[in-house]
Structure 1
Amino acid sequence: MTVAQAVVEFLGRQYTVDNIGGAAYRERLIPGMFGIFGHGNVAGVGQALKQWQLKDPSLMPYYQGRNEQAQSHQAVAYARHTRRRATYAVSTSIGPGSSNLLTGAALATANRLPVLLLPSDTFATRAADPVLQQLEMPHGYDITVNDAFRPLSKYFDRVTRPEQLASALHHGLRVLTDPAETGAVTISLPQDVQAEAFDFPEEFFAERDWKIRRPAPETEDIAQAAQLIRAAKRPLIVAGGGVLYAYATEELAAFAEATGIPVGNTQAGVGALPWDSKHSLGAIGSTGTSAANALAAEADLIIGIGTRYEDFTTASRTAFQNPGAKFVNINVAALDAYKHATVLPIVADARKALIALREALTGYRVEGALEVFTAQEKQRWDATVDEAFAERLSPLVSQNAIIGATNQAMDSRDVVVCAAGSLPGDLHKMWRVSDPFGYHVEYGFSCMGYEIAGGLGLKRAVLAETARGAENRDVVVMVGDGSYLMMHTELVTAVAEGIKLITVLIQNHGYASIGSLSESLGSQRFGTKYRALDAQTHSFDEGQTLPIDLALNAESLGVKVIRIAPGDRAIEDLAAAIATAKAAPEGSGPILIHIESDLYADAPSSQSWWDVPVSETSELDSTTKAREVYESHKARQKPYLG
């Protein structure tokens, strides 16, 4: 058989196995493959997929897509919803087909989510050289477009001989299923090698199980952590995505209930506790709640669980102001466990560590004053969100009210999807999540254009769950016009497959997030509005609003569209539209709800900061004033090591 035929058959027989509290799970590691075919893979992987489609389509189902980057986003979203137990493979042609995957590789690795990328490459034999779309580097003739994947991948290999395939695939899948090391796995396949025949051994195609390793904590580490917690006056937990990937939400709830330690969550950690838990302070950091940030400012012991301490989480290292603050970090990845000059890194699975730590803290509970302070701050923030959700502007509504209406119209099991712009920060602060799977915001890379493709990949995971007997979930994508224009073409994929994906498209004729940031930095919202060019001043800032009809665009792709007219009833009409979309049967295809919003309406303040440098000197008064504010915040920044 050919190398490409061997790749397809091998991947179709790989499984992940997992054990959570004695319950064993086994599922396909690679349940399908995306691909756009051109020279490089059309006669390789494309031929192999077609051959198996006729022989046994269940071995490796093929799915179309409209953009290679979007296909990788689908795979990543699928992986996140399945808690990294499964992902898709993506095959591309050489040159631009391969390089379209680079953003997807960076996103996967930044978010620690597995995706298997199989970009085609130029001839290994160089029989035809140079070929169409080949780079020629005078200092290194073996360099191709695919070498750009090396710094973006957690594992990279190039198969230049059929004999290398087994090693490349086994090492690649080892990384895919490693919770500490996972990310983009890239195996470059030269086009001639894909079509080359080789006598592979039968055992290469036997079913293989890949166990997800969940290391237990060291006993002495748990004992030391318990001592530190008992000695602390104001401990605080920062729950990250590692809590969700370890299936540790119930253990976190039990730990918080037993000890009274309050919990703030990162973007990836939303859902670690239900929003209405008395111990949940909600989001922490630059896009956080005033409640979580008030507790963070006074915390003397920060217990990080499954977080990588991204700058939004730490408010660019200004969140934790207690001069005696110490960090205890529990993380399956040593890289994250050792951050912020931690006094105690615990390299372990979050669930197992929480179980052991709760046992070590038997009889312990925080001081009553901390519980009172937690309750007061939580009550204050909940009232702030209630007020924001009830906000009624006219004729254009606020994004706060749109978020509130969407949140309230969805069922607790439904999932919201977002990635970039002002929406992720506003959702992080205000979205009320009851189900640990109910929030899917890609904020490790915050990639504009992820939303619709990611929502589609997530919906594939939901449909796979329902096929196994699980209760259904609706997937609701919330996206601004900026991200929509970046990449909306996977709506065509949803139309082709009849996948019910609900999209709430918020049009404000500009980049709200960067516009607001620009204004705060003294740059006067430069280049952030959708306006016609004023040729005399060469400015896009003051011209006429562009006559863009994104609802009509979606309709032209075959999507059912519900338009919400501006005015006093816009929010009520939005809620009714979501109810209509939810009532549509599965298999009826995508539905897009179009609503316009006020570009300038702000969300409630997090009482926090994000470090984006301001020009040190400027001829603009607005920039000079912004620099003064910047320096005042900069003075509060902590020089944590690591």
Structure 2
Amino acid sequence: MSSPRPGTRRLTTAQALVAFLARQYTERDGRRHRLIGATWAIFGHGNVAGLGQALLEYGEEMPFLQGRNEQAMVHAAVGYARQSNRLSAHAVTTSIGPGATNLVTGAALATINRLPVLLLPGDTFATRPADPVLQQLEVPGAGDVSVNDTLRPVSAYFDRITRPEALVPAALQAMRVLTDPAATGAVTLALPQDVQAEGFDWPEEFFAERVWRVRRPAPDAAELDAAVRAVRASSRPLIVAGGGVHHSAAEDALRTLAETTGIPVASTQAGKGSLSHDHPADVGGIGHTGTATADHLARTADLVLGVGTRWTDFTTASSTLFAHPGVRFVNLNITGFDAHKMAGLPLVADARTALLALAAGLGEHRVDPAYAAEYGRRKAAWEARVTAAYTPRGDDARPTQPQVLGALDTLVTGDDIVINAAGSLPGDLHKLWRARSHDQYHVEYGYSCMGYEIPAAVGVALAAPGRPVWAFVGDGTYLMNPTEIVTAVQERLPIKVVILQNHGYASIGGLSEAVGSERHGTAYRYRAPDATYTGDPLPVDLAANAASLGMRVLRPRTVRDLREALAEARASTVPTCVYVETETADTVSGAPPAEAWWDVPVAETATRPAAVKAREEYDRHVAARRRHL
């Protein structure tokens, strides 16, 4: 091995990358954070001798986390990044082949939710000493394609490092994207296994501490003036708080604006908790899974101020919710792409900076007292519905799904963090959960990915040590991805996993019934004589499975048992599972029904009566859809 040139350090490409990552920092509002807090890994032949050796070599500088499933490692990294307000992230390395392609779902989730994660998949040989090598995809018309190219469309930035020296510009670009609030998401650096292990003389400057300042761009004066004039001219304004409120740490600024103007605040799934549930201006979740209060205000609003929201179909009720004939939108967003949606007046800026500027520009402007009194009454009426959904028939009854939430509601403080992503629970939580702090409500609904909850709880627990972290999962979601329970046990992270057993894909079963598909293929049951899955429930014991993976397991049967089990789990210092069979297998929940529509196309031609009736209902709703111009 030759001696390094003066001013350089001879390292492998993998060693250089790990040493570089260990010296990257973010800074916002004068506070510095380590950018890459740790690296998750599952090793195979495509990364064990490169990044595997480098993580061993630099173990004191780069914390290492051992994962069990590649997709789950990304979910854990996303949970960590979200809890860290996108100021700190994790890296994830895998081998080539199936290890790399298992990253795709997690990468899509990260990019859709605008959350930073660094992916470092191994890749096939850059030098092609043998062609094909193990796990290599051969594309006859393109010799430079590998399975890692599947990560291109789901990555905010992608590069393949085919020479060691190419790492320097690629690594800097990767950090730029990870720390850019308008561009962040999954960042992929594909690393051919021979290049990982190749030595190179790296400039010492590459390993110097580098601080990436997270910008807070101020609004353009003309755009701010237009927004102020639009709010002043409205009689029924409504604020819709999205995830950008949390990412910007703009909760205090939003509360100031709501209190000085009296404008009510509804929230998307990502924005819930922007105001505490008991704040007079908080009217709850909006859209298909929203509250009656928020959805009524949305239907009658003449001005809607969206703050950090992507305006998804659940939020807009598939373009049927905002029904006022003269409704206009102001979109405060750090990305111009989102700020121009709904044909709105764009206000491209950091959420906190712009909200403070809006409050200053509006001065003493307030909504009509009658409007404030109206939404106050509606808010109180909805709270009564929440209490009713949470209240059991008796302590000896088996709980419904909302009653499980209600039992936990009596125990939690602002320290607790509740995580969910898929099934019927996102709807129940969005409608019913009483968020007590800005980061208590952690529902991933950009991708609504089954299997997210347990690994995300691991990531959140790493980012928020000492706080109670709850992962709510249905039986369908649990079966998708329980593997990181082992990681929680290994790392001694006392996450609390609440498994709700209703014997199938209950939420899709309800949707299937609504769209005329008669719950076909959604129950976990034996085949009946007519070949349908309508026999007895399967004798599956998910609690025993969780116990076999190392969790402490509690099995409450009644509401009284449930309260005791949740309290015991909350106090537990080891990973604990609370396994609950809800009241009926075929009922999604006892929550209030949807207050707004969601567009799921129904068969236009059918002979079965259920589908014919569902199509009639679909056509009725479609007539209310509009484009905002």
Alignment TM-score > 0.5, same fold: yes
2:601 aligned residue: 613
* Matched residue, 2:475: 481
Given the alignment, which residue of 591, 602, 605 partners 2:590? 602
Contact 2:603 2:611 in 1 (8 A): yes
Q: Match of 1:366, as an amino acid?
A: V
Structural mapping, 1:185-224, within 5 Å? 185-224=187-226
Please give the secondary structure, in 1, of the residue aligned with 2:305.
Answer: strand
Tell me by how many angstroms 1:490 deviates: 0.3
Does residue 592 (structure 1) correspond to residue 577 (structure 2)? The answer is yes
Match of 1:503 among 472, 485, 497: 497
Contact 2:398 2:559 in 1 (8 A): no
Instruction: Report the equivalent of 1:369.
Output: 370
* Structure-1 separation of matches of 2:193 and 2:517: 49
Structure 1 residue aligned with 2:19: 9
1:28 aligns with 2:34: yes
Please say if 1:546 is aligned against 2:538.
yes
The residue number in structure 2 matching 1:524 is 518
For the 8 Å contact 1:235–1:303, the answer to whether it is kept is yes
**2:294 paired residue number:** 292
- In structure 1, give the amino acid aligned to 2:163: R
Amino acid aligned to 2:603: S
Alignment of structure 1 residues 446-457 onto 2, 5 Å? 446-457=448-459
What's the offset of the Cα at 1:391?
Answer: 3.4
- Which secondary structure state, in structure 1, belongs to the residue aligned with residue 200 of structure 2? coil
What are the ranges of 5 or more consecutive residues in structure 2 without an aligned counterpart?
A: 1-10
Amino acid at match of 1:377: R
- Look up the SS of the partner of 1:31 in the other structure: strand
Query: 1:364: how far off?
Result: 0.6
Instruction: Specify the alignment match of 1:41 in structure 2.
Output: 47
* Correspondence 1:561 to 2:553: yes
Secondary structure of the equivalent of 1:199?
strand
Paired residue secondary structure (1:516)? helix
Other-structure match for 1:50: 56
What secondary structure is seen at the aligned counterpart in 1 of 2:48? coil
**Would you say the 8 A contact 1:290–1:605 is kept in 2?**
no
Q: Residue 631 of structure 1: CA displacement? A: 0.8
Distance across 1 between alignment mates of 2:351 and 2:116: 19
Which stretch of the first structure deviates more once superposed, 354-363 or 573-582? 573-582
1:468 corresponds in structure 2 to none
Counterpart amino acid of 2:335? A
CA distance in 1, matches of 2:436, 2:575: 25
Shift of 1:575: 1.6
Partner of 1:467: none
1:341 aligned partner? 343
* 1:625 aligned onto 2:604: no
The answer as to whether partners of 1:286 and 1:609 remain within 8 angstroms in 2 is yes
Q: Which residue number in structure 2 is paired with residue 572 of structure 1?
A: 560
Deviation at 1:407, TM superposition (A): 2.0
Q: Which amino acid aligns with 2:413?
A: D
Which residue type is aligned with residue 45 of structure 1?
Answer: L
Deviation readout 1:586-623 (Å, 9 max, x if unpaired):
xxx31000010123133102321110000011111001
Structure 1 stretches of at least 4 aligned residues deviating more than 2 Å after TM superposition: 391-397
For structure 1, the 5+ residue unaligned runs are 464-471
For 2:500 and 2:381, how far apart are their aligned partners in 1?
28
CA distance in 2, matches of 1:404, 1:488: 25
Letter aligned with residue 365 of structure 1: R
* Counterpart code for 2:127: T
Report the AA paired with residue 164 of structure 2.
Answer: P
Report which stretch shifted further, 385-394 or 485-494.
Answer: 385-394
Deviation at 1:218, TM superposition (A): 1.2
- Amino acid paired to 2:365: Y
Cα separation, 2, equivalents of 1:148 and 1:333: 25
Give the equivalent residue in structure 1 for 2:67. Answer: 65
CA distance in 2, matches of 1:372, 1:395: 38
SS of 1:89's equivalent in the other structure is strand
Matching residue's letter, 1:509 = H
The CA deviation string for residues 100-128 of structure 1, in whole angstroms up to 9 with x for no partner, is 10001000001000000000000000002
Using the TM superposition, give the Cα deviation of residue 295 of structure 1 relative to its aligned residue in structure 2, in angstroms: 0.4
* Superposition deviation, residue 395 in structure 1: 5.1
1:493 aligned onto 2:493 = no
Q: Secondary structure at the match of 2:283?
A: strand
CA contact (8 A) 1:504 1:592 kept: yes
TM-superposed deviation, 1:584 = 2.2
Question: Hey, what does 2:4 align to over in structure 1?
Answer: none
Q: Is the 8 A contact 1:391 1:400 kept in 2?
A: no
Does structure 1 conserve the Cα–Cα contact (< 8 Å) formed by 2:289 and 2:595?
no
Aligned to 1:391: 392
Any conservation in 2 of the 1:216–1:348 contact (CA below 8 Å)? Answer: yes
Name the SS for the 1:410 alignment partner. coil
TM-score, normalised via structure 1 length: 0.95
SS of residue in 2 equivalent to 1:43: helix
Distance in 1 (alpha carbons) for counterparts of 2:217 and 2:121 = 33
Deviation at 1:178, TM superposition (A): 0.5
Q: Given the superposition, is the C-alpha separation of residues 631 and 595 from structure 1 closer, same or farther in structure 2, using an over 3 Å criterion?
A: same
What SS does the aligned partner of 2:201 have? coil
Q: Using the alignment, how far apart are the partners of 2:90 and 2:227 within structure 1?
A: 39
The AA in structure 2 aligned to 1:392 is R
SS of the residue corresponding to residue 329 of structure 2 reads strand
SS of residue matched to 2:615 = helix
Q: CA deviation at 1:412?
A: 2.0
Give aligned pairs, total. Answer: 615
Taking structure 2 as the reference length, what is the TM-score of the superposition?
A: 0.97
CA deviations over 1:145-168 (Å, ceiling 9, x no partner): 000111010000000000100111
Q: How does 1:66-105 map to 2 (within 5 A)?
A: 66-105=68-107
Q: CA separation in 1, counterparts of 2:224 and 2:54? A: 51
Q: Which residue does the alignment assign to 2:256?
A: 254
